[in-house]
């Protein structure tokens, strides 16, 4: 599947900014992309959980891909999250991403109906057949139901267009098993608060939401890890985790939007049924933003 190197590194799972009227705030999205490229991140994962992809209409998700492709202008590796409950809808979004020059597609497993493993495998293969793009699986057991096993992964990776997995789980032994399949694949650590443990179990990169505003910090963590400076890497993970812990208290995406708004990118609120940003959250995120901007 060509050169896999462009798929290694730190990928921001882009948030989707909204205007007061609820529509997508494309100017802010462009600013967010620019800010992240300046921070040095290697690529973007668009339309995923963090981007409220499943709360956008499919047309809106495609318009996010349009904006990402035109704002990034070849300066970052682009992954389009096209996952949804319908194979046809996902394939349609995948075709759109391919036209825009995205580097890969990714998808959560179809949800709600507890589809059997064979149906989930077919879903992935069918989406993959709809374009020439490489496929990155998204293993997110906590999202409801499906948890990828090593055996299922072995079967899926018989398809040569499948190049990696975003592993959003703190099961580090599972991450290690994906890294040691018969064929070498790219494994992304999915929870930012355990990036250091993911790296030590062999992760090739990371896709996460807190990189929207802490890209620089996490890039320093990766450099420290690669240089063998575990103490420094731990120190950086500790700093980041204090912030993430505070965000989990108020809702991660709401808090991330509040931090970025304080940093000068107007992100608006999350879509319902996510709760609005509370005043307490805003005050706490203001402090965090101040600290981060001083770094």
Identify residues 109-148 at the interface with ligand MN9 (CB under 6 A). Answer: none
The reply to whether 13 sits near ligand MN9 by the rule CB under 6 A is yes
Closer residue to ligand MN9, CB minimum distance, 130 or 138: 138
Smallest distance, ligand MN9 to C-beta of residue 259, A = 13
Closer residue to ligand MN9 (CB): 103 or 192? 192
| Stretch near ligand MN9 under the rule CB under 6 A, chosen from 70-78, 151-159, 202-210, 260-268 | 202-210
Cβ-based nearer residue to ligand MN9, 45 or 102: 45
- Taking the complex as a whole, how short is the minimal distance between the CB of residue 252 and ligand MN9, in angstroms? 5
Q: Which of 18, 191, 225, 250 binds ligand MN9 (CB under 6 A)?
A: 191
Return the residues of window 237-276 that contact ligand MN9 according to CB under 6 A: 244, 252
Least CB distance from residue 159 to ligand MN9, whole Å? Answer: 23
Residues that bind ligand MN9 (rule: CB under 6 A) add up to a total of 15
Rounded Cα distance between 86 and 265, Å, is 33
49 binds ligand MN9 per the rule CB under 6 A: yes
Which residues are tagged catalytic?
138, 166
Region binding ligand MN9 by CB under 6 A among candidate stretches 15-23, 42-50, 92-100, 173-181: 42-50
Footprint of ligand MN9 (CB under 6 A) = 13, 48-50, 168, 190-193, 207-210, 244, 252
């Amino acid at each position: 599947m060509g050169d896999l190197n462009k798929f290694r590194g730190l990928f921001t799972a882009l948030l989707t900014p909204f205007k007061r009227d609820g529509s997508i705030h494309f100017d802010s999205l462009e600013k967010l992309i620019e800010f992240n490229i300046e921070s040095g991140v290697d690529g973007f994962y668009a339309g995923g959980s963090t981007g409220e992809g499943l709360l956008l209409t499919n047309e809106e998700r495609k318009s996010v891909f349009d904006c990402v492709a035109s704002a990034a202008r070849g300066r970052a590796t682009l992954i389009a999250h096209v996952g949804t409950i319908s194979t046809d809808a996902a394939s349609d979004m995948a075709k759109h991403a391919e036209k825009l020059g995205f580097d890969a597609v990714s998808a959560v497993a179809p949800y709600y109906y507890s589809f059997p493993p064979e149906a989930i495998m077919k879903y992935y293969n069918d989406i993959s057949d709809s374009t020439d793009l490489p496929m990155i699986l998204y293993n997110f057991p906590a999202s409801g139901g499906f948890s990828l096993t090593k055996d299922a992964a072995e079967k899926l990776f018989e398809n040569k267009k499948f190049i990696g997995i975003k592993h959003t789980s703190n099961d580090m032994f599972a991450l290690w098993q994906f890294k040691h399949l018969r064929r070498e694949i790219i494994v992304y650590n999915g929870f930012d608060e355990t990036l250091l443990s993911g790296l030590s179990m062999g992760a090739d990169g990371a896709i996460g939401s807190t990189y929207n505003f802490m890209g620089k910090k996490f890039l320093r963590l990766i450099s420290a890890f690669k240089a063998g400076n575990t103490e420094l890497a731990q120190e950086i993970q500790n700093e980041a985790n204090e912030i993430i812990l505070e965000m989990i208290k108020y809702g991660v995406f709401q808090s991330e939007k509040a931090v970025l708004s304080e940093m000068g990118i107007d992100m608006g609120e999350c879509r319902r049924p996510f709760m609005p940003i509370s005043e307490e959250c805003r005050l706490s995120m203001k402090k965090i933003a101040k600290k981060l901007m001083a770094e």
